């Protein structure tokens, strides 16, 4: 199959900011079929924009609705536009949509950037002092509601309480129950005087707005408590929860957005779960601390982004040859180099797959939603100990930072497995102890420091079964080529059993389909939404999700793709890195690559439109 890519026409305003390439030419606008009800709050940094969105998301989640929250903010210490988009529905929301039924703007920029994203009949609430709409850009049918928001406050309160005023006006215009918001607010503020001020402002602006505007755009969804326990969390929260459930007792790292909140979550809960947390002076120190913990038999995890992982790569090779379990979360962001610290991308796949010197097997998992962030973190922590290899949890800003309503995680069947850990009784019968004993499955019995009879050498050099440096030991010098090759073979002997154990792929939709969409990571939600819509229209489409890119599941991928007539790759990078992996391991090429590399995530409606063009 021939893979041809063609840049979209950059003169078309609908797509000119997308950084999008495909096999097709632009044709028509975004699909506007029924989607969840989405509200966008926007305004200057420091005005509590994200707190406003999170507040109504919590109120909705606690009262029977499902939400999906996307925060966007520039990498600035002060200033810039912050936005928070909240989607509501009666069923789980798979991904965000850039089509807003309600926009609340506290700044001119918040309105200027969103004219084209307003749905038919949308409502725009804006601060009457700070925002002046351009009537020529307001889509037909959109209703404007100027309200005095920041101007109703004075001094510092204008900044820190403007979000409460905005939420009050939002509730008045949509009939979103004010009591639900007030109850949620009571659980958020710890200081009674601050709570009292915000509640008073919330109610005052609510009443004033209702008096000012008698006709309201009603919130379309019914609130009903269903009795099922739900959480509001993001991917980083879920990873940290999975780590705690898996028995992590040590965590280390150096803060780097968007991976930092894994570390802060673990630090916040360290005392409760008996975790030792260390903020290291840099990523090199952090990764070596983690290797030290793994060597000592302590289950550990670290978190960073691409730049921090770059500093860890030499130590990654040390963990591999020393066969010390190591788990790192690598949360991708826009790049290269420092790039866009607070934006998303899927451009580090090749980097983490081949990072460090030499050749060695590693585990890479790319979770696609918060459920997989939890379950696969637990699984990877087990697998890295069982197979004594490094493991990388590859996520990105969109998944790490987007907040969703989710049921409590299912914990049944989650069992901690530590592999070939040996005790002193076993060691007393197996002398001399060979830490790197060659076995049929490539996995050697593992002792930890302090065990009688388990003393051994861990070196970054190639070595024999006893750990001695193959060149530095005179006894081994003549056998160095054989020892080196045998050691590499030993590492890769682990791969067949590892492939049998990991759920490398997931096939969503029909088992056989005319069109197969292939993707990985955080694009999962948008792809699922797209195939649902396409199949409802009578198409025959399924979705192959590659959950574990390493070790690459060549046989499973080949079997799935050979059953499809047309293969469409969807990923958030310029060079279609997963398509390259598929071609390298299976010889198969995709028919089309839909690529987005503007540091923003895919939406289902965009994918539906472009997939239809590919099919046409």
pLDDT by residue (tens digit) across 285-306? Answer: 999 999 999 999 999 999 999 9
pLDDT at 155: 62
Domains of the chain in start order, with CATH, are 33-229 (3.40.920.10), 232-406 (3.40.50.970), 424-501 (no CATH), 505-615 (3.40.50.920)
Q: Which of 111, 107, 119, 110 is nearest to 135 (CA)?
A: 111
pLDDT at 471: 66
Phi, psi angles (nearest 5°) of residue 267: -65, -40
Phi, psi angles (nearest 5°) of residue 345: -170, 165
pLDDT at 553: 97
Contact criterion met (CB below 8 Å) for 449 and 295: yes
Instruction: Output Rg (C-alpha) for the chain, integer angstroms.
Output: 27
Between strands 37-44 and 81-89, the pairing is antiparallel
DSSP string of 68-88, one letter each residue: EEEEE--S-SS-SEEEEEEEE
pLDDT at 16: 24
Q: Model confidence over 80-110: pLDDT tens digits?
A: 999 999 999 999 999 999 999 999 999 999 9
pLDDT at 531: 95
Which residue positions in the chain have pLDDT lower than 50?
A: 1-33
HEC-encoded secondary structure of 463-502: ECCCCCECCCCHHHHCCHHHHHHHHHHHHHCCHHHHHHHC
pTM of the model: 0.92
What is the helix (H) or strand (E) element at residue 45, kind and residue range? none
Angle between helix 577-586 and helix 554-562 axes, rounded to 10 deg: 100
- The Cβ-side half-sphere exposure at 125, using a 13 Å CA radius, reads 32
Q: Give the Cα-Cα-Cα angle 562, 563, 569 (nearest 5 degrees).
A: 70
Alpha-carbon torsion, ordered 278, 281, 285, 291, to 10 deg? 10
pLDDT at 407: 95
**Alpha carbon separation from 331 to 86, 300, 307, 578 (Å, rounded):** 22, 17, 10, 17
Q: Where are the beta strands (DSSP E) in 186-249?
A: 230-234
Q: Which of 276, 292, 296 is nearest to 284 (CA)?
A: 292
């Amino acid at each position: 199959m021939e893979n041809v890519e063609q840049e979209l026409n950059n003169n078309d305003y609908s797509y000119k900011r997308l950084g999008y390439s495909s096999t097709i030419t632009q044709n028509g606008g975004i699909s506007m079929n029924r989607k969840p009800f989405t509200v966008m709050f926007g305004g200057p940094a420091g005005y509590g924009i994200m707190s406003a969105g999170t507040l109504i998301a919590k109120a909705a989640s606690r009262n029977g609705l499902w939400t999906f929250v996307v925060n966007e903010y520039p990498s600035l210490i002060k200033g810039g536009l912050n936005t928070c988009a909240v989607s509501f529905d009666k069923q789980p929301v798979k991904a965000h949509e850039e089509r807003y039924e309600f926009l609340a703007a506290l700044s001119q920029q918040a309105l200027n950037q969103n004219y084209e994203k307003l749905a038919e009949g949308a409502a725009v609430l804006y601060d009457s002092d700070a925002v002046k709409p351009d009537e020529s850009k307001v889509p037909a049918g959109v209703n404007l509601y100027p309200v005095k928001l920041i101007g109703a406050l004075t001094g510092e309160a204008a900044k820190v309480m403007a979000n409460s005023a905005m939420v009050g006006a939002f509730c008045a215009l949509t009939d979103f129950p004010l009591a639900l918001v007030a109850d949620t607010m009571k659980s958020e503020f710890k200081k009674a005087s601050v709570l009292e001020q915000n509640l008073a402002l919330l109610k005052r602006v609510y009443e004033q707005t209702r008096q000012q505007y008698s006709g309201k755009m009603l919130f379309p969804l019914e609130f009903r408590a269903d009795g099922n326990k739900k959480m509001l969390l993001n991917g980083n929260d879920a990873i940290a929860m999975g780590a705690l459930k898996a028995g992590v007792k040590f965590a280390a790292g150096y803060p780097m957005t968007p991976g930092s909140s894994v570390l802060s979550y673990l630090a916040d809960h360290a005392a409760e779960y008996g975790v030792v947390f260390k903020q290291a002076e840099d990523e090199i120190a952090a990764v070596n601390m983690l290797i030290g913990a793994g060597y000592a038999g302590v289950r550990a995890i670290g978190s960073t982004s691409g730049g921090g992982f770059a500093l860890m790569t030499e130590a990654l090779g040390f963990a591999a040859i020393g066969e010390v379990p190591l788990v790192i979360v690598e949360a991708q962001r826009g790049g290269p180099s420092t790039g866009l610290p607070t934006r998303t991308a899927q451009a580090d796949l090749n980097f983490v797959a081949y990072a460090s010197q030499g050749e060695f097997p590693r585990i890479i998992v790319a979770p696609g939603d918060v459920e997989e962030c939890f379950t696969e973190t637990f699984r990877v922590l087990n697998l890295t100990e069982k197979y004594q290899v490094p493991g990388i949890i590859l996520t990105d800003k969109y998944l790490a930072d987007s907040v969703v309503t989710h049921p409590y995680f299912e914990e049944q069947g989650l069992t901690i497995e530590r592999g070939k850990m040996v005790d002193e009784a076993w060691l007393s019968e197996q002398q001399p102890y060979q830490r790197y004993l060659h076995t049929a499955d490539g996995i050697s019995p593992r002792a930890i420091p302090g065990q009688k009879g388990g003393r051994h050498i861990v070196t970054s050099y190639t070595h024999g079964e006893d750990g001695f440096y193959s060149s530095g030991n005179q006894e081994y010098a003549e056998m160095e080529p054989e020892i080196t090759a045998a050691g590499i073979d030993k590492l890769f002997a682990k791969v067949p059993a590892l492939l049998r154990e990991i759920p490398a792929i997931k096939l969503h939709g029909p088992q056989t389909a005319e069109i197969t969409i292939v993707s990985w990571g955080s694009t999962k939600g948008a792809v699922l939404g797209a195939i649902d819509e396409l199949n409802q229209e009578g198409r025959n489409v399924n979705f192959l999700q590659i959950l574990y890119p390493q070790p690459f599941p060549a046989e499973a991928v080949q079997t799935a793709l050979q059953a499809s007539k047309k293969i469409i790759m969807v990923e958030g990078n310029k060079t279609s890195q997963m398509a390259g992996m598929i071609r390298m391991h299976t010889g198969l090429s995709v028919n089309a690559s839909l690529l987005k590399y503007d540091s923003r995530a895919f939406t289902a409606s965009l994918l539906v439109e472009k997939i239809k063009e590919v099919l046409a």
